[in-house]
Amino acid sequence: MRITRQAYDEIRGHAGEGYPYEICGILVASPGSDRVDITRRVRNTMVERARDRYEMDPRDQIRIQRECDDAGLEIVGYYHSHPDHPAQASITDARRSWAGPIYVIVSCVEGQVVDGNAFRAVQDGGPMHQEPLEVLD
């Protein structure tokens, strides 16, 4: 998975601002491109377990899908943070995953992103396998 430095820095900034809660968002690319150029923040609607769970606001998802459609762009994946935990796909992440999209997870410790990894589900509901994550300058 390839992502521009600007897009990756946007994820890092979002995770730092949202700490100590999980944040989430959408990864966007040009059609047919293997490079994520754009991120879009999505509100985490999870209240009771926001430190270790996220639920994407469906209104944000619909709005972003429409914006992408209008601009001729594609949603290619999703991102979220793991506050004070490793940037590894959890059992919950795998169970809620779909085959196809890329999932970027960043580890945010005391408000600073210390690691990030990309994953792809083999089939809907997992398992998930780590993919190379290349940040482009």
The set of catalytic residues is 22
Amino acid letter, 114: V
Distance CA 35, CA 107 (A): 22
Distance CA 92, CA 52 (A): 10
Distance CA 79, CA 103 (A): 6
Distance CA 102, CA 88 (A): 13
Distance CA 61, CA 39 (A): 12
Show the tokens assigned to 33.
């491109």
